Amino acid sequence: MDINQSMPWIVAFLIGFSSAIINILVSKNQRKISIQAINKDILSKNRQEWINTLRDSVSQYLSSHELSKLIRQYDQKNKNTQPEYKEEFKSWQLLYYKIK
């Protein structure tokens, strides 16, 4: 068997084998990058939901706080507190601790 005749087959085999190895390595790296991108998207979405919830809670808290100041002024004048206002105070406290 002459080495010159079998040389093209050996070269073709080596090229095919190295292409397969390189393809496996590249696809493994792309898979890692894809997983990282998916994790970033999920984290970003969760963070945005948290920010939106916090904004809503802060808005509710501030409006309840303003209402509580008005109620206190009313109570100081009339020396009593209506039961529905007490519930408003409870919700105000709940929002305070939720934000905290």
Number of domains the chain is built from: 1
pTM of the model as a whole? 0.48
Three-state DSSP class for 82?
A: coil
The length of the chain, given as a count of residues? 100
Consecutive sets of 10 residues in the chain, 100 residues long: mean pLDDT of each? 69 88 91 89 88 87 77 69 66 78
Virtual torsion, Cα 88, 94, 99, 100, nearest 10 deg = 130
**Residue 59 structural domain:** 3-99
Tokens of 89: 């105070």
